[in-house]
Structure 1
Amino acid sequence: MKRMILLCVALFSIATAKAQFGVGGGTTKVTVTGRISALILDSVTKKPVDYASASLIRVKDNKSVNGGLTDEKGKISIQNVSPDQYKLSIGFVGYKNKTVLVKTTPEKPDLNAGTIYLSPSSNDLQEVQITGQKALVENKIDKLVYNAEQDVTIAGGTAGDVMRKVPMLSVDMDGNVSLRGSSQVRVLINGKPSGTMANSVADALKMIPAEQIKSIEVITSPSAKYDAEGSGGIINIITKKKTAQGVNGSVNASAGTRQNNGTFSLNAKQGRLGFTSNVGVQYAIPQDTRISILNQNIAQNTILTQDGYTKAKRWGYNGSVGADYDFNNYNSFSTNIKFNKFENGSDGSLNVISTAPAGTTNYERITKNEGSMSNVDWSADYRRTTKKEGEELAISGQASFGRNTNDFNTRNVFATLPTVTILGNNTGKNNEYTAQGDYTYPFSKTVILETGLKGVFRTIESKYQNTNQNFDYDQNVGAAYGVLSFKVAKATSVKGGLRAEYTDISGVAGSSLNFKNDYFNLFPSVIVSQALSQMTSLKLSYNRRMQRPSLFYLNPFLDDSDPENQRRGNPALSPELTDLMELSYSTYIKGSVINASVYYRNTKDVIESVFTPAQKLTTYFNVGTSKSYGSNVFASYNPLPKWTLMGNFSINSYEVINPDTQVSTGVYANYTAFMRSAIAFTGGWNTEVFGVYNGKRRSFQGTSGAMAFYGAALKKDIMKKKATVGINVFNIFARDLHIENKNSSPSFVQSTNVYYPIRSFGLNFSYNFGKINYNAQPKKKKITNDDLKQGEQQQGGQMGGQGK
């Protein structure tokens, strides 16, 4: 705990010092900044020229410092302009470029350049080819970026629909995401954790309209700057930041036989002050799901079967409100509040047949489950830059408050015996506080140092009211990191770092079980990137990661909603430690993309579920060491300019070895495949078809069944491309998706067959209003908490009080 206190003191000291002083230790003079505005008109018609580009060029060094686009009234306002003399250059297709001299002073930082007339060009352009547009897929030194805003087929979809198209990712029919075959991934929004994601990734992805997504970053080998998450990696969803002067927003709605969503966003900016807001709702139409369960205890010669139907329901809402203010060119502040609530449940009836040497028993099990998850996140971020380009200090704070409930009522109705009723009520609270400081210093354009400190303080309470027992859990994490990026040759870049984390854990379960644990770990990382040509690169990386178990795995209280398949957590679990080595190759050939990677992953103290037939209980243990080899290949090809073909294939081995006995589960292969074809037609029509196949997945005691599904969509731009309408279909030739999960050993067999109702038809509509003028804005630093191993099947129905 002493190390934790020292770390917090150091973090406060750096925050205080950097907020007051520059790098050299002297007082930094705050420079007043202003804005330059103008009205751009056609010299002949005297009508506004909208979407004309404006570039502000400093006269003394001829360097472009800012810019923007005109709005529908021809107005342009360029913010954060330091006092100096500039050239304001205006240009637009079909007009001659025009440049005017402007000057601002500390006494008069704001300047209205008046009306500027553009003269039509003497040449009529019949066809214009725009260059410089971002590629759909970009490969950077530490991540792969899918630029969703360049994909014209995503309108009317959700974040889950977009992720199905991202290299190395796969999304199952419930919306659960895996990266290169691993479901142990951390999903962030704008670099920050979300209470919505912590409770249910699948539900959260359904709440994010595809039109709000700018890009998705896939980080398979996170640097030491990131929290020490485990083997899977990090997925970061970057949303579009509305920075236009005035008011703009969007409306999105989809309705269908399976899922219904609606979202609304409204944004406003005036001068240096901006506001953003959004709200979304979702409702899933309840449908019958058939379930067939077999439990066979070979040692005791007993067989129990359960066969019947459940009807699941799910609805929820989420939203956020944020504000940001640029004090001047060097200091800015932003704050944001996110809120969400999801409710889910199921009603079911199962016919149960129990066969034993003593005879056969037949009865009906009637179940009713209700659960809710709510969360509020508040964050505040201060950012300070200097005249040295690339130097930055960021101080961030975040507070999260989560509340979960899970109630169940199970009745076993016998023909001749009294009815047996089992009740359960679990409530949980999860409060989390985070303080973080990050500092970036560029020694030169090619040598950059990143360093920072972070403290995370979690308090979790979980209570079962029917037993009147509490599970109180405290986890405090302190971290410090340093990352250095540099070039060793013109075509060779290196990014290496080291992260140190100290974890202090204490907890009380009921009145008899107390536990305490603390550990200190170092996490090195290094990435070497070699440019083989302008469009081809080779990358080699190594890092060490960790996954601490969340409350889903730790909560020791018994969930006996199904007495034949009970579940409880294990507070004695140790964290997983993973070493990952990866070699990847990327190339771009005439618009086509190929990205291929091979990797080796070694994970110690793997956490997996273990079923004990004698107790009819599933719990969690550190089952051993996993050694996995894997490969991923992604390709995108354009047979025609408006026709895109995409494919992704991932395969990895599975093997767990007991470190004491050296007994192995054997080596198995897990694999996934994805194919997509998209065509854009004239007149604003777009269509696509896709198919996904996830092969059978091996686990410690058994397998999770394979699944295959497919879909198609047709969309049309309307209202001068401000809106789209579309239809989509999903698995139209089969109502149900059959998945079989099976655990087995020489002494037992446990099999669950689920028939999900998957066939669906839907309509969608999206509409954007206002003008979107993306002026250059400084990038805000954000808090990221991505250090916990999340629970299995996070789509809902978990124990209350799950931690993040």
Structure 2
Amino acid sequence: MCKRLISSSTILLFYLLVYPNQGFTQEVNSNDKKTDTTSRQLEEIQIKKTRSLVRQQIDRLSYDVQGDPEHNTLNGLDLMRKVPMLSVDAAGQLKMRGSTNYRILINGKESGMMAANPRDVLRNLPASAIKRIEVITTPSSKYDGEGPAGFINIILMRRASDGYNGNVRLAHELPTGGPSLGGNLTLKSGKFAIAINGGADRTSTPETAERYYRQTFGSIPEQMENNSTKKNNSRSIFGGAELSFEPDTLNLLTAEFSPYSGYNKVYNSRLFELNEGNPDFSKYLLDARNKYSWTGMTAGLSFQRSFSHRPGQLLTFAYRYVSNDNPQVNHVDISQQINSHLTSFLQQSASGYKEHIFQGDYVRPLKSLTIEAGIKTILRYNSSDYKRTQSDTSLVNNFKNSSPVFGAYNSYHYRIGAWGIKAGYRLEYTTMHGQYKSASQIPKTNYFNLIPALSLMYNINMGSSLTMGYTNRIERPRFYQLDPFADRSITNILSYGNPNLKPALSHHLELNYSQDSKTTFSANLSYTLSNNLIQQISQYDSTANATITTYANTGYDRQLKLYLSAGGKLAEKLGWSANGLISRVWLKGTIEGRHLENSGYNAKMSADVTYTLSDLWKASGSFNIDAPETFLQEKTNLQFYQSLRLYGDLVKDKLNLSLTVNNPFTKFRYYERNLTGFDFKQYYRFQSYNRSFGLSLSWQFGHLESGVQKSKRKITIDDGR
């Protein structure tokens, strides 16, 4: 008996010496009246290592959402603030390495709702529904040539075991924002599985102030001042379902359907004053009621075939249909006119697009080489129908545009020792054609592009790697850049698209170093060169007495960027992460036959800290700063964002509560744009609520019939990796 006690004590002392900070927890079964010491065995011990949140791969960076301690309390948009190379500005706009010119994918596929309204969709998507986020900075040949800044791929959670699992999140934000509801549910039984997600929100913004000021320097100098108040409310709803049927281990059929809709109502009251030294030269009051709506859907079918004799070999065929409609109605009332002869009017437009996508892919793995090949066809149709009544019925027209894309690719991924090489090419052929209702046509143009892609990765050791990449990217004009519809709800300030835009090609080169140890660190250096760039240009039309903003293929863009990211633990209970971007921009363009240049530095920085208060509760804080941005004709102002959050479990691993205060030190934020033309200057400033308070509840539920085996004794190693 003494020997047995000594032996047991020795085993216990060994574990306490090796793992001094870990303890044992043993389940006690009340039905066990006695313990049979002769047949008792040491129970299985599971060694668990805290996983790294950030993983560098050969052509992308991957963020492990499920490993983030806040994933049960955040929404998708707030989560993006924590992902390296992504940022969310003070207005809620998502950016990738400081750019808004990227593409968002869901499980590697394009999504109509993400293209139409990403901010609201991400705001209603619980972070717990996301498995990981991939930031693809050097897309391989498998991906479309579009998306100059790259791709953001959101991988949603999927459960493989029989049973069900889900999450519901309810949130409310004051004084801006409003209630929102989002959730997801996964069901699986045998060969069938279904994953459902959805969300809805209602947002309202109390009255805020705006100001436009323009000064012209022509033969008759003029000043325009526009002071206004603005408020809005919006509604949005989205949903999605993915069904799968696996008749056997080699075949998989999936179907998806994702509808969405919403609207935003904006109310403006604007006082315009135009003068040549006389304050009453021209004056009027404009009251506008604008409604911007969106509705659409994504639907698709796919078939995947595996091969038993060669694991990893795949053949896939897929079809997807995407539609989006954006009707707009502007009610504009003019009153209190002095030396002005404007009339009230109603303006309507109905724009939208439809896409049919056909794709086939083949993957063939060999010993150290993986070969990928595929074809893809995108049949894309855009249309815009607009009219103006009650004042000028001549402003009526219809515009249609088609731009089918035919592509084929071949890619090779080779691994040898510490090296990984991914190389390939993509061929894309595009036809662009537009036509007005008046029968006037835009000349048909064809484009053929050969897009190379090369990525190299060297694993320096177990915790660090070096990657290099080069690729070309195509910027095809978006429909809002082509659409000639002019929103006239703000008189004297007009904007519309240019149907004659052509695609632009950019060259992208990057170098990345990543280290994963107790402190994670990555540095990304990139250089982008774009010719025939699609740029927004503004000029003053003295005849219409208006600032005209449109798009043109003009000049070039050079950008040199350095992105730094780091994270780790300052103490056992205190974690931190930080991201920073500094870039140098050179821009050139031609407007009205005259040459224009601009250059400057752009910078962004964010930092997050998380403190563990107890086993169930944590507190976190974040800080973001965006330095003024430089464009061809414009420059913005400095922006700040702060957030404090207390979150934890009301019921462990089931019911989570989060309390948030954003920007507690300032009530309003002011966003400014200074625009400079050859014969005018324009200043724009709008006010928005900065301080807000939020509350969210998240409920996790589920039951898995297959029963995940759990160890009764666990040893956790947390070395910060």
Give the TM-score taking structure 1 as reference length: 0.79
SS in 2 for 1:362: strand
- What is the aligned partner in structure 1 of residue 529 from structure 2? 602
State the partner residue of 1:337: 257
Q: How does 1:70-81 map to 2 (within 5 A)?
A: none
CA contact (8 A) 2:602 2:627 kept: yes
- Correspondence for 2:346 among 411, 423, 434: 423
The letter of the residue matching 2:517 is I
Task: Report SS of the residue matched to 1:616.
Answer: strand
Aligned pair partner of 2:551 in 612, 620, 627:
620
Deviation at 1:213, TM superposition (A): 1.2
**Cα displacement (A) at 1:156:** 2.8
Cα distance in 2, alignment partners of residues 178 and 508 from structure 1:
34
Aligned residue in 2 for 1:452:
374
Q: Is the Cα contact below 8 Å between 1:496 and 1:527 reproduced in 2?
A: yes
Secondary structure in 2 aligned to 1:698?
A: coil
Match for residue 3 of structure 2? none
Q: 1:670 aligns with which of 591, 602, 605?
A: 602
Q: Percent identity?
A: 25
Q: Indicate the SS of the match to 2:160.
A: coil
Aligned match for 1:440, one of 340, 346, 363: 363
Task: Name the CA distance, whole Å, in 2 between partners of 1:214 and 1:554.
Answer: 36
Partners of 2:427 and 2:450 within 8 A in 1? yes
Q: Would the aligned equivalents of 2:129 and 2:184 in 1 still touch at CA under 8 Å?
A: no
Retained in 2: the 8 A contact 1:156–1:253? no
Distance 2:705 2:131 in 1: 14
Letter in 1 for 2:630: R
Q: Distance in 2 between matches of 1:698 and 1:315?
A: 33
Note the C-alpha offset of 1:410: 1.8
Separation (CA, whole Å) in 2 of partners of 1:123 and 1:719? 31
The one-letter code sitting in structure 2 at the alignment partner of 1:356 is E
User: Of 724, 732, 737, which residue of structure 1 is paired with 2:669?
Assistant: 737
2:405 matches 1:477: yes
Which of residues 373, 383, 386 is equivalent to 2:294?
Answer: 373
Match of 1:556, as an amino acid? P
Matched AA of 1:596: A
CA distance in 2 between partners of 1:599 and 1:278 (Å): 36
Task: For residue 746 of structure 1, report the CA deviation from its aligned partner.
Answer: 4.2
Which residue in the other structure is 2:505 paired with?
577
Contact residue 125 and residue 198 of structure 2 kept, 8 A: no
2:304 to 364, 379, 383: 383
Matched, 1:294 2:294: no
1:656 corresponds, among 587, 607, 624, to 587
1:499 is matched with which residue? 426
Q: What residue number does 2:237 align with?
A: 317
Tell me the alpha carbon deviations over residues 357-377 of structure 1, each in whole angstroms, 9 at most, x when there is no partner: 575223222111101101111
* Residue 720 to residue 121, structure 1, CA distance change in 2 (3 Å): farther
Mapped pair 1:762 → 2:694: yes
Counterpart residue number, 1:640: 571
- Note closer, same or farther for the CA distance 1:441–1:468 as it changes in structure 2 (3 Å cut): same
Which residue in the other structure is 1:130 paired with?
48
- 1:418, CA displacement in angstroms? 7.0
Instruction: Tell me what 2:30 maps to.
Output: none
Distance 2:355 2:63 in 1: 31
Q: 1:315 to 1:574 in 2, by over 3 A?
A: same
The Cα offsets for residues 609-644 of structure 1, whole Å up to 9 and x where unpaired, read as 111112521111112111111110000021123321
Offset from partner CA, 1:257-291 (integer Å, 9 cap, x none):
12221013332211011112222101112311210
Cα drift, residue 517 of structure 1:
1.2
CA distance in 2, matches of 1:775, 1:635: 38
Distance 2:71 2:186 in 1: 22
Residue 275 (structure 1) aligned with residue 214 (structure 2): no
AA aligned to 2:195 is: T
Does structure 2 retain, via aligned residues, the 8 Å contact 1:694–1:706?
yes
Three-state SS of the structure 1 residue aligned to 2:119 is helix
Aligned to 2:719: none
**Equivalent-residue separation in structure 1 for 2:364 and 2:110 (angstroms):** 26
CA positional deviation for 1:510:
3.2
Deviation at 1:663, TM superposition (A): 5.1
Cα distance in 1, alignment partners of residues 360 and 573 from structure 2: 46
- Aligned to 1:544, the other structure's residue is in SS state strand
- Could you tell me how far 1:124 is from its partner in structure 2? 7.9
Q: Which runs of 5+ in 2 are unaligned?
A: 1-23, 28-37, 389-394, 709-721
CA offset digits 1:417-444 (Å, max 9, x no partner): 7772132100123211000000000121
TM-score by length of 2: 0.87
Q: CA deviation at 1:384?
A: 0.5
Query: Is the CA contact 1:409–1:422 (under 8 Å) kept in the aligned structure 2?
Result: yes
* Deviations 1:456-492 (CA, angstroms, capped at 9, x unpaired): 00112210133442111111100000010113x4111
C-alpha RMSD over aligned residues: 2.3
Q: Quote the residue 1:392 is aligned against.
A: 314
The residue type equivalent to 1:301 in the other structure is P
In 1, the alpha carbon distance for the partners of 2:110 and 2:608 equals 30
| Count of residue correspondences | 657
**Pairing 1:630–2:561 present:** yes
Following superposition, the deviation at residue 608 of structure 1 comes to 1.5
**Separation in 2, partners of 1:316, 1:219:** 29
In structure 1, which of residues 167, 188, 208 is the aligned counterpart of residue 105 of structure 2?
A: 188
> Aligned with 1:204: secondary structure?
helix
- Residue 537 in 1 paired to residue 537 in 2? no
CA contact (8 A) 2:163 2:704 kept: no
- Kept in 2, the 8 Å contact 1:94–1:124? The answer is no
Change (3 A) 1:650 1:399: same
Separation in 2, partners of 1:373, 1:568:
19
Residue in 2 that maps onto 1:160: 77
Deviations 1:377-430 (A, max 9, x none): 101111001020111001110011222101112222125677721321001232
Hey, what's the Cα distance between the residues in 1 that align with 2:255 and 2:101? 30
Residue 527 (structure 1) shift: 0.5
Partner of 2:64: 147
Q: Deviations over 1:161-192 (max 9, x none)?
A: 00000001110133211111211111111111
2:658 equivalent to 1:726: yes
- Counterpart secondary structure, 1:465: strand
Partners of 1:772 and 1:306 lie apart in 2 by 61
Supply the AA of the counterpart residue of 1:431.
K
SS at match of 1:420: coil
Partner Cα distance (2:410, 2:396) in 1: 46
Question: Is contact 1:94-1:121 (8 Å) kept?
Answer: no
SS in 2 for 1:519: strand
Q: Secondary structure at the match of 2:78?
A: helix
Q: Deviations over 1:317-338 (max 9, x none)?
A: 0001221011111101010100
SS in 2 for 1:130: strand
Partners of 2:274 and 2:704 lie apart in 1 by 64
Deviation at 1:742, TM superposition (A): 1.2
Corresponding residue SS for 2:110 = coil
The one-letter code of the counterpart of 2:357 is: T
SS in 1 for 2:579: strand
Q: Determine whether 1:355 maps to 2:312.
A: no
Q: Tell me how far 1:558 sits from its aligned partner.
A: 2.1
- Structure 2 Cα separation of the partners of residues 415 and 188 of structure 1: 50
Deviations 1:682-716 (A, max 9, x none): 23101110011111011111112221110011112
Instruction: Note if contact 1:243-1:774 (Cα within 8 Å) is conserved in structure 2.
Output: no
- What does residue 173 of structure 1 align with? 90
Give the secondary structure class of the aligned counterpart of 1:610: strand
Q: Deviations along 1:653-674, whole A, 9 cap, x unmatched?
A: 1112349999562431111100
Q: Does 1:751 align with 2:688?
A: no
2:448 maps to what in 1? 520
Q: Would the alpha carbon gap of residues 415 and 490 (structure 1) be closer, same or farther in structure 2, given more than 3 Å must change? A: closer
Task: Pick closer, same or farther for the CA change 1:617–1:138 going to 2, 3 Å.
Answer: same
